[in-house]
Amino acid sequence: MEFVKYEVADRVGYVTLNRPDKRNALNYQVVAELKEVFKQASEDSTAKVIVLRANGQAFCAGADLAYLQQLQKNTYEENLEDSSHLKELFYQIYTLNKVVIAQIEGHAIAGGCGLATVCDFSFTVPEAKFGYTEVRIGFIPAIVKVFLLRKIGEMKSKQLLLTGELIDANEAVNLGLINEVVDKDKIVGRVKEFTNMLVEKNSGQSMAYTKQMIAAVPSMTLEDGLHYAAEMNAKARASKDCQKGIASFLNKEPITW
């Protein structure tokens, strides 16, 4: 991997964007490497939760200039394939079988803000700016819109997507885009504290099932959603984690996950 690093520590998998000279901007190769690393992370039994972070001053500045120039020369078919490439990454993170936490220590713009959007939790430093600036260069925030509407609703999504304005970290929290603002010197420790809580207190299988259902239910009718929920409920009851958890609860024994 040239632009993405992967490592595991204390049952947490760390996916690190490592293109600081280009503000961790996205191109075809970066997206391909992220897809490969997240696939590896999803299959890694030593990693229970995943943290997405970045080296350098920016979290991710969106598509790089050379990449944008190349796109202008593409055919429709080439652009569709490239757009599908990014769509697959966002969907992969959104539906990954493990919780994904964004550790944002710099600006997250356009596609970079999209990465933050599809993560399950996001922690940021106060200095970071967020925004979907596509409309200001004659482009559209097409793919991220699908996820953003689910995350913060139509009114707030319109505010961000149609204005193209950058917002600060506190406003991102108020809009529901980001979970928490943490000072620069404390964010690593805060994310570590949060990941430790998930790793030590929660069943990995239960988190995976719950995340799967959160992704699936909004597109279902009420009746279909409840039917699906009943099926998943029955499936979870038969799992080893549920049997272990209930036995520990009834016997008043601590659970080691």
From residue 5, alpha-carbon distances to 15, 17, 74 in Å are 6, 7, 29
Measuring CA to CA, which residue among 113, 125, 126, 123 is closest to residue 178? 123
Tens of pLDDT, residue by residue over 213-231, are 999 999 999 999 999 999 9
Instruction: Return d(Cα 31, Cα 172) in angstroms, integer.
Output: 25
Residue 23 structure tokens: 């503000």
Residue 8 structure tokens: 């595991």
Q: State the chain's mean pLDDT as an integer.
A: 96
- pLDDT at site 226: 98
- pLDDT at site 23: 96
HSE-up of 241 (CA within 13 Å, CB side)? 12
Instruction: Return d(Cα 125, Cα 185) in angstroms, integer.
Output: 9
CB 175 within 8 Å of CB 131: no
- pLDDT at site 128: 98
Model confidence at 65, in pLDDT bands (50, 70, 90)? confident
DSSP state of 22: G
Task: Residue 142: count other Cβ atoms within 10 Å of its Cβ.
Answer: 12
- pLDDT at site 96: 98
Model confidence at 67, in pLDDT bands (50, 70, 90)? confident
CB 172 within 8 Å of CB 148: no
Residues 6+ apart with CB under 8 A from 251: none
Please give the positions annotated as active site: 134
Share of the chain above pLDDT 70, in %: 100
- pLDDT at 66 exceeding the cut of 90: no
Q: What is the DSSP string of 170-224?
A: HHHHHHTS-SEE--TTTHHHHHHHHHHHHHHHS-HHHHHHHHHHHHHGGGS-HHH
- pLDDT at site 69: 85
Least confident of 8-22, 111-125, 242-256: 242-256
- pLDDT at site 72: 85
Tens of pLDDT, residue by residue over 82-128, are 999 999 999 999 999 999 999 999 999 999 999 999 999 999 999 99
Q: Provide the b/e sequence for 67-103 (b: ≥16 CB within 10 Å).
A: beeebeeeeeeeeeebeeebeebbebbbebebbbbbb
Angle ∠(219,90,106) on CA atoms, nearest 5: 125
Model confidence at 143, in pLDDT bands (50, 70, 90)? very high
Instruction: Return d(Cα 98, Cα 92) in angstroms, integer.
Output: 11
- pLDDT at 68 exceeding the cut of 90: no
- pLDDT at 37 exceeding the cut of 90: yes
Tens of pLDDT, residue by residue over 165-210, are 999 999 999 999 999 999 999 999 999 999 999 999 999 999 999 9
